[in-house]
A and B are shown apart, each in its own frame.
Chain A
């Protein structure tokens, strides 16, 4: 099982949970499982181009998956996926 840690802003979409456990061999599969259980998360995680939403950073353990294989990044049992909102402004 893969633990997915959710940021405060997305917890209402998962019944208030700070973390959920799902199955998946890649980040993409983990996300599909997550969004299958919690459909309203989709618009916040995936952009119109089917890739990670630009305002969301996703880490496999402590590595940003954008620097690995994005949604194709492999995950193993015991890995922790952390979702953090991008910190940005002007």
Chain B
């Protein structure tokens, strides 16, 4: 069972990379992967992010995203080469709130990952993070540090 004390820790630079990629993707949804250290079970994220991997949304859609499979394997190998693994995915909601949609819920196939949503609905971007396990959404606090 994924632990409930998880906090997503991003540096300001990582936050800006994530949000910047989301704006760059407009008018479509943008997506990317996050790499970082894993706990001894080799599945549970510690919470730190080592690398942000902006990816191509092969759907090229304002309503759905699919991470390009070639970006996925490259990100995985890079994260593994740094001693960790993939810890989550971020994507943008161009016109809705930073909360997982029905589609997000149905297609969340990684029970240990952190799902980051960036809403571009309002003037300022809103970034929130979640765990999605067995159809249950639980919010993960986000800390942004310099």
Contact = CB atoms under 8 A, between A and B. Distances in A.
A89 interface: yes
B128 interface: no
B107 A55 contact: yes
Given A89-B108, A90-B29, A84 B73 contact: yes
Nearest to A65: B69
A55 B72 CA distance: 13
Given A8-B112, A62-B77, A89 B72 contact: no
B77 A86 contact: no
Interface of B: 29, 31, 33, 42-43, 59, 61, 63-67, 69-70, 72-74, 76-77, 89, 91, 100-104, 107-112, 115
A64 B64 contact: no
Interface of A: 7-9, 18, 55, 57, 59, 62, 64, 66-67, 82, 84-90
B111 A87 contact: no
A70 B83 CA distance: 31
Contact of B89 (A64, A67, A87): A87
11 contacts: A8-B43, A62-B74, A66-B69, A84-B73, A85-B110, A87-B89, A88-B59, A89-B64, A89-B101, A89-B115, A90-B104
Contacts of B73: 57, 59, 62, 64, 82, 84
For the residues of B in contact with A, the DSSP-based class is mixed
Nearest to B63: A90
Contact of B103 (A9, A18, A85, A89): A89
A84 B109 CA distance: 10
A57 B72 contact: yes
A25 B65 CA distance: 34
A75 B69 CA distance: 19
A86 B67 contact: yes
Top 6 A-B residue pairs of the complex, sorted by shortest distance between their CB atoms: A90-B103, A85-B109, A89-B104, A87-B67, A90-B64, A88-B66
A84 B63 contact: no
B107 A84 contact: no
A53 to B, nearest CB: 11
A67 B58 CA distance: 14
Contacts of A85: 109-110
